[in-house]
Amino acid sequence: MIKNLGEINSVFNQFIAELRDIDIQNDRMRFRRNLERLGEIFAYEISKTFEYKTAEITTPLGMAEMQLMTEQPVLATILRAGLPLHQGMLNYFDKADNAFITAYRKYDKNEAFDIRVEYISSPDITDKILILSDPMLATGASIVKTVRGMIANGLPKQIHIVAALASSEGIDFIQRNLSLYNVSVWVGGIDDELTAQAYIVPGLGDAGDLSFGKKSDQ
């Protein structure tokens, strides 16, 4: 399932527009906060797909029956760019366990690159709901490698992939390579073009640099 929240007219699109805007991007704190806001909205929408049970809540004046989630998801993100988006979802799923993954592009002298996944810190995800976030779903390679690395030690019953923006190519890559698993992809917009360096066009640039500053070339 591909769920594009940007296709629905809501305040969500205001946050996407500000993330893309080259002038507003100069405010690093606002950029991070807008990613966090998206995470909160994604969390709310994803929560509608969960199972619920009736619980009795004691109020000062009596008892109220409420429908509450039967379980909390495991929230995972790819460092470092994914941290603000992850925090937004953690604001809503505040009892969730968390997983963190290092994945990056390793370039050769010809500017070709491979995706390296070097570290995964994760709780047991067997039969759990896994939500994996990364702001930009470009080629889809880092997401696929991350999912494969995580499920090597346990298969979740449901995987939700969350990205602020995605490319059509990245969506297609995930559909081809993760078709054996119960995967849903949630995005804020889908752009058609990738540059030779695999950046989404029009996209928004480098989400990690815009959130936390430029990295050293070393």
Question: What pLDDT, on a 0 to 100 scale, did the predictor assign at position 108?
Answer: 45
CB-based contacts of 211, cutoff 8 Å, min separation 6:
28, 31, 32, 35, 80, 81, 83, 84
Give pLDDT, residue 83: 95
**What one-letter code names the amino acid at 16?**
I
Which residue segment(s) compose the domain that 131 sits in? 2-51+68-212
Residue 111 has pLDDT above 50, yes or no: no
Question: Under a CB-based contact definition with an 8 Å cutoff, are residues 198 and 13 in contact?
Answer: no
Which residues, at least 6 apart from 148, have a Cβ–Cβ distance to it below 8 Å? none
In a domain, 56, yes or no: no
Could you tell me how far CA 99 lies from the centroid of its own chain?
Answer: 12
Residue 22, pLDDT score: 96
Q: Domain for residue 59, yes or no?
A: no
Q: Report the range of poorest mean pLDDT among 80-94, 101-115, 156-170.
A: 101-115
Task: Name the token pair of 52.
Answer: 């619920």
Closest CA to 163 of 10, 14, 16: 16
Any domain includes 58:
no
Q: Is residue 57 part of a domain?
A: no
6 domain residue, yes or no: yes
pLDDT exceeds cutoff 70 at 9 = yes
Q: Using CA atoms, how far apart are residues 57 and 190, in angstroms rounded to an integer? A: 42
Examine residue 178 and state whether it is found in any structural domain, yes or no.
yes
Q: How many CB atoms lie within 10 A of CB 105?
A: 15
| pLDDT band at 105; cut points 50, 70, 90 | low
CATH code for the domain of 144: 3.40.50.2020
- Tell me the pLDDT of the chain averaged across its residues: 91
CA distance 104 to 30: 25
Structural domain total, the chain: 1
The string of pLDDT tens digits covering residues 124-162 is 999 999 999 999 999 998 899 899 989 988 999 999 999
Identify the pLDDT of residue 113.
47
pLDDT at site 41: 98
Residue 31 lies in a domain: yes
Q: Per this entry, what is the length of the chain? A: 218
Evaluate whether residue 167 is within a structural domain.
Answer: yes
